[in-house]
Structure 1
Amino acid sequence: MASIATVISSDRVEGTSVYNAAGDKLGTIDDLMIDKLSGQVRYAVLEFGGFLGMGTDRYPIPWNMLKYDTAQDGYVVPLDKATIEGAPKYADASVPDYDDRYTTSINKYYGF
């Protein structure tokens, strides 16, 4: 009996589509933010907006909100586009320090 892999390389996660529960594509995963002490993924950074990769914003979403859906070959989040658009974000050229203040703002926004 074949076993199912329970880990995945980050380069295979980056670029994966993210959908809402209705099946609408919200964007793609641009990056993963990993806790330096625990080694656990804390946030998936969702990229969407702009045109041809220009002017896109990055939205960190708590990793535990994403659920992989094999039927869609992507991740599903219980969020709609308007909710994500109001979330903490940054431009590609201005990645913030993921310090306590910034991570608290992300977690508070998503109710953690």
Structure 2
Amino acid sequence: MGNNASRELVKLGDTGKTVADITEDIRGYTARDGSGAELGKVEELLIDPGEEKVRFLIIASGGFLGMGKDKAFLPVDTVKSINHSDHEVLIDQAREHIAGAPEYDPDLEEAISYYETVYGYYGFSPYWSPGYTYPALPYHPR
């Protein structure tokens, strides 16, 4: 990844694309931390259109009819496992840690410095870093 333009991420739902295997689409799944505490629902997947890979999950929690929702912006690297039969995604971070993450701001979705801050907070190198290895998960939009 040589320039910032190649790091622009878009919501999968805005692209007209889907994941390679529709049964692997985790939008709407319940996200849980390692202890089983519910974090919310996977609202959206942010993809890198150049490489066609999911880079972040947007987890929404709380609210009524979409009002007052809290959102967490999690690197795909935080996904520990996916349980398709129960429609759950297990995140390898504690609920308390996620609650203290840099605040989600839709105006910052395309800000490289925000991505770097989020990756750093969760202890991962950004996907454009030399030597980055994409997690072995079933996310390959098409």
TM-score (norm 2): 0.63
Identity %: 27
Inter-CA distance 55–11: structure 2 relative to 1 (3 Å threshold): farther
- 1:14 and 2:24 matched: no
Bigger relative contact order (CA 8 A; separation at least 6)? 2
Query: Partner of 2:135 in structure 1?
Result: none
Q: Which residue of 2 aligns with 1:104?
A: 116
* One-letter amino acid of the structure 1 residue matched with residue 103 of structure 2: K
Greater per-residue strand proportion? 1
**Counterpart-to-counterpart distance in 2, 1:62 and 1:10:** 21
- Is 1:43–1:63's contact at 8 Å kept on the other side of the alignment? yes
Q: Does 1:47 align with 2:66?
A: no
Paired with 1:96 and 1:15, the residues of 2 have a C-alpha distance of 23
SS for the counterpart of 1:13 is coil
2:113, 2:56 → 1: CA distance? Answer: 15
Q: Which residue of 2 aligns with 1:3?
A: none
Match of 2:45 in 1: 32
Structure 2 stretches lacking a partner, 5+ long: 1-18, 125-142
Q: Gaps (5+ residues) in structure 1? A: 1-5
Query: What is the DSSP-based 3-state SS (H/G/I as helix, E as strand, rest coil) of the residue aligned with 1:34?
Result: strand
Alignment length, in residue pairs?
105
Matches within 5 A, 1:51-62: 51-62=64-75
CA-atom RMSD, angstroms?
2.5
C-alpha distance in structure 2 between counterparts of 1:109 and 1:13, whole Å:
23
Deviation of 1:63 (Å): 0.8
TM-score (norm 1): 0.78
Displacement of 1:18 in angstroms is 0.6
